[in-house]
Amino acid sequence: MNLAEITAHEAGDLLRRREISAAELTDAVLQQIDRSESTIHAYITRTPDEARRQAAEIDRRFAAGEDLPALAGIPIALKDNLSTKGIRTTCASKILDGYVPPYDATAVERLRAAGAVILGKTNLDEFAMGSSTEFSAFYPTANPWDPSLVPGGSSGGSAAAVAANEATVALGSDTGGSIRLPASFCGVVGLKPTYGRVSRYGLVAFGSSLDQIGPLTRDVTDAAIVLSAIAGRDPRDSTSLDWPVQDYRQSLISEVKGLRVGVPNEYFVEGMDPMVAEAIRRAIAKIAELGANVDETSLPNTRYALAAYYVVAPAEASSNLARYDGVKYGLRVDGSDVWEMFNRTREVGFGAEVKRRIMVGTYTLSAGYYEAYYVQAMKARTLIKQDFDRAFERFDVLAVPTAPTVAFPLGARIEDPVAMYLTDVCTVTVNAAGLPGLVVPCALVRGLPVGLQLLGAPGSEDTLLRIGYAFEQSGDWKATRLT
């Protein structure tokens, strides 16, 4: 048995039966990182000594007979836009060079409390602005299925780490598809929870009304376990929801008979790879075979989603990134006066894609253009949410593609922002409406994974996990998974 390949719940069972130790599990994953990281580049910062120390402490507690949480002893990777006390947090940007937070993000706190073993911080598009993990100030991350291809973004490092067995589970963040797109491209499970279901405290802000933290895992069961550990109200985040935290594993039953599944035609967009579209339709047909009631529907305002997103998200980014000025933390490039210092720090510290989005966002918020762009985008966002509200009066779940294509070659779209942004066409609606979305692997197209995306009403993670689990259990995806 290769311990680096097993799921968190399988590892947890073995740990509790004392058939393996947390130290053995952690060493197996660290050895896999050593073997493959020179090709994959999933990590920015690795913490092997701290991981071994944490694993030894978990073994001591197991030996003492403690009843530990489900994630105790499980090696986990964290996207490098999550604050980690004592571990540098760069957001893959030069402007945070040398920054070491004095506190943990709430999600990280909760993972530590659950006994998870932190392996390090994973690569991302700078400040989570990208769809391919090529816009990192350090290096691009490669797709473990084919290192000449992108892993998706912006949580590409986290997805690649799980797919390459360099982490048992990982956390990412999702502003417009940044968990779900890498999940699809790398053949793993990705869950973007309802906006506010997981505290954003300590998540470095990109689009504050859109961002949400969630898990990337090898199967649906692991996603349920991680969500149970990190969800819940946090008084330090005023947008976090005061909803009870449930054990989402209780939702994992193979019975979906009677569930109503809608298929919005608008998500099968012009230019979609026909083989990807066919794979998604076959997956939806499988859900119907399992007993769900499947019917077509329409979300007519979906056509406004991408344009609205690329107004709202840069506007919020422009505001959020104003704090990086060379004064408080991170990079500082001196100048003849404070204004030159500001300008030179930001010029050197930010990459091209971040600068592009800051400029777009500043423009759309400026006098004379705010009403024409930002206000109109917010109106479109309202229409998109209303479409979903009507759809969920009729359906429990919507089943759609995650991306128009499989993973594309590194460098293929980096000079074409419009082509890169079109990668997000099937994912941005979820963030605009604050909904949960689950991606489960469903097929291989030309030897590369395709993810089925399941969308639900606010707070319906249990239903998404139920239907995702049923679909996962019905197929033979594991036989085709990268090992």
Q: Quick one: which of 247, 185, 243, 237 has its CA closest to 216?
A: 185
Reduced to 3 states (helix: H, G, I; strand: E, B; else coil), residue 374 is helix
Active site annotation includes 154: yes
How do beta strands 117-122 and 75-79 pair? parallel
Catalytic-labelled residue, pool 21, 79, 93, 199: 79
Catalytic-labelled residue, pool 132, 154, 251, 460: 154
The tens digit of pLDDT for each residue in 174-200 reads 999 999 999 999 999 999 999 999 999
Q: Decide if pLDDT at 55 tops 90.
A: yes
The residue that leads in pLDDT, 481 or 6, is 6
Q: What is the pLDDT confidence band of residue 388, given thresholds at 50, 70 and 90?
A: very high
Q: Tokens representing 168?
A: 């048992």
How do beta strands 260-264 and 117-122 pair? unpaired
- Kindly give, in sequence order, each residue whose CB lies less than 8 Å from that of residue 171, ignoring residues fewer than 6 positions away: 76, 77, 78, 79, 82, 107, 108, 111, 158, 213, 214, 215, 216, 226, 230
Q: Decide if pLDDT at 482 tops 70.
A: no
Token pair 């107004």 in the structure block, residue: 311
Mean pLDDT to the nearest integer, 110-121? 98
Between CA 48 and CA 416 the distance in angstroms is 38
Between CA 50 and CA 27 the distance in angstroms is 12
Average pLDDT, the chain: 96
Between CA 54 and CA 56 the distance in angstroms is 5
Q: Tokens representing 291?
A: 């007993």
Alpha-carbon torsion, ordered 183, 184, 188, 191, to 10 deg: 50
The residue that leads in pLDDT, 154 or 482, is 154
Residue 285's Cα: distance from chain center in Å? 26
Q: Quick one: which of 168, 280, 270, 177 has its CA closest to 225?
A: 168
Active site annotation includes 132: no
Mean pLDDT to the nearest integer, 285-304? 97
pLDDT at 483: 53
Q: Tokens representing 370?
A: 């705010």
pLDDT at 481: 66
Q: Tokens representing 197?
A: 């279901």
The tens digit of pLDDT for each residue in 203-245 reads 999 999 999 999 999 999 999 999 999 999 999 999 999 999 9
pLDDT at 480: 66
Q: Decide if pLDDT at 478 tops 80.
A: no
- Residue 248 · residue 226 · CB < 8 Å: no
How crowded is residue 317: how many other Cβ atoms within 10 Å of its Cβ? 25
Q: Please tell us whether the domain made up of 3-262+394-480 is placed in CATH 2.60.120.10.
A: no
pLDDT at 1: 86
Q: Tokens representing 318?
A: 């422009």
On the CB side of 136, CA atoms within 13 Å amount to: 30
Q: Cβ-count burial of 45 within 10 angstroms (0-12 exposed, 13-18 middle, 19+ buried)?
A: middle
pLDDT at 402: 98
Q: Decide if pLDDT at 282 tops 60.
A: yes
Q: How far is CA 289 from CA 202, 388, 445, 475, in A?
A: 43, 25, 22, 12
The identity of residue 460, as a single letter, is S
Catalytic-labelled residue, pool 136, 178, 184, 251: 178
Mean pLDDT to the nearest integer, 389-408? 98
pTM surpassing 0.85?
yes
Q: Decide if pLDDT at 476 tops 70.
A: no
How crowded is residue 139: how many other Cβ atoms within 10 Å of its Cβ? 12
Mean pLDDT to the nearest integer, 274-296? 97
pLDDT at 97: 84
Per cent of the chain over pLDDT 70 is 99
Active site annotation includes 336: no
**DSSP per position, 168-222:** SEEEEEESSSTTHHHHHHHT-EEEEPPTTSB--TTBPPSSTTT-EEEEEESSHHH
- Residue 171 · residue 211 · CB < 8 Å: no
H or E stretch including 309? helix 305-320
Q: Quick one: which of 397, 387, 390, 369 has its CA closest to 460?
A: 397
Q: Tokens representing 69?
A: 């949480």
The tens digit of pLDDT for each residue in 328-357 reads 888 999 999 999 999 999 999 999 999 999
Q: Decide if pLDDT at 477 tops 90.
A: no
